[in-house]
């Protein structure tokens, strides 16, 4: 397989994160070694919209033979990360992040140290809670026409999965940001997803990219 020439690891400013754009199809492995157990094949295209695939970077390791990058994968269990060869990805710095605060039921968008917005959102009900942790945007795509009245104009799947639902609507319980009716905002009203108003959802879809960090915190 052709491998792009490795470039230096870019410095990561405070309040920023690294993402890894997949430039050559590769396999994410359980350890930074070519014979380690495969976890997921990365094709370079997102699963839904087929836009360029980027992953949130959670670590970098240099071995005697190669440099490896650890990326968060959109598979169970939540937080699963895999290692890819440095030459198969292009590292980029992102200063945008999303924070979801479950206690106050609000979503914030930050650019570096500056909070841009804070909006009320719907969160998971007691029996289907929104998972807590550091995740990432997996994709962002227009909702299928037949579902827009329920889920709004955009669906933004994350790398997070429901802690209680192993399957939902034919999928594996993936958690997303999506729209909903006004009465669903500011209260527990979902099966684990985060619900925004239509106007706010459109702003989020415009600002985030695959790999954008999403922190869901109980506070």
Q: What average pLDDT does this structure show over 80-88? A: 97
| pLDDT tens-digit series, residues 103-133 | 999 999 999 999 999 999 999 999 999 999 9
CATH number at residue 65: 2.30.30
| Same domain membership, residue 192 and residue 102 | yes
Q: Domain span at residue 61?
A: 17-94
Distance CA 37, CA 22 (A): 19
Q: Are residues 195 and 126 in the same domain?
A: yes
CATH at residue 127: 2.40.440.10
Q: Are residues 81 and 111 in the same domain?
A: no
Residue 63 and residue 102 share a domain: no
CB 197 within 8 A of CB 168: no
User: Is a pLDDT exceeding 70 seen at residue 79?
Assistant: yes
Which tens digit of pLDDT belongs to each residue from 181-203? 999 999 999 999 999 999 999 99
88 and 112 co-located in one domain: no
Reading the block at residue 105, the tokens are 């039921």
Q: Residue 45: what pLDDT?
A: 97
pLDDT at 134 over 50: yes
In a domain, 41, yes or no: yes
Q: For residue range 2-39, list pLDDT tens digits in order.
A: 444 455 788 899 999 999 999 999 999 999 999 999 99
If asked whether residues 105 and 162 sit together in one domain, one would say yes
Q: Are 19 and 94 in contact (CB under 8 A)?
A: yes
Note the pLDDT of residue 1. 45
How many whole angstroms separate alpha carbon 15 and alpha carbon 213? Answer: 11
What span, in angstroms and rounded, lies between the C-alpha atoms of 141 and 48? 7
Strands 38-42 and 26-29, bridge-based pairing = antiparallel
Domain shared by 147 and 204, yes or no? yes
pTM: 0.93
Dihedrals φ, ψ of 36, to 5°?
-70, 160
Residues 105 and 207 in one domain: yes
Of all residues in the chain, the percent with pLDDT exceeding 70 is 97
pLDDT higher at 215 or 171: 215
Q: Indicate whether 155 and 140 sit together in one domain.
A: yes
Counting the structural domains of the chain, the total is: 2
């Amino acid at each position: 397989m052709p491998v792009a020439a490795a470039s230096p690891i870019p410095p990561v400013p405070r309040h920023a994160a690294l993402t890894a754009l997949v430039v050559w199809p590769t396999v994410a492995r359980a350890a930074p070694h070519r014979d380690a157990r495969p976890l997921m094949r990365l094709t370079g295209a997102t699963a839904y919209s087929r836009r360029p695939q980027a992953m949130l970077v959670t670590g970098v390791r240099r071995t005697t033979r190669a440099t490896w990058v650890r990326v968060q994968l959109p598979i169970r269990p939540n937080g699963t990360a895999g290692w890819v060869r440095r030459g198969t990805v292009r590292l980029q710095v992102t200063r945008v992040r999303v924070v979801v605060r479950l206690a106050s039921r609000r979503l914030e968008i930050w650019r570096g140290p500056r909070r841009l917005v804070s909006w009320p959102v719907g969160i998971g009900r007691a029996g289907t809670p929104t998972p807590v942790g550091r995740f990432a945007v997996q994709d962002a795509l227009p909702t299928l026409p037949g579902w827009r009245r329920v889920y709004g104009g955009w669906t933004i799947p994350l790398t997070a999965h429901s802690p209680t639902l192993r399957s939902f609507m034919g999928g594996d319980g993936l958690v997303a940001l999506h729209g909903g009716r006004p009465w669903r905002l500011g209260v527990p009203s979902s099966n684990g997803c985060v619900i925004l108003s239509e106007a706010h959802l459109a702003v989020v879809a415009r600002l985030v990219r695959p790999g954008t960090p999403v922190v869901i915190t109980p506070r």
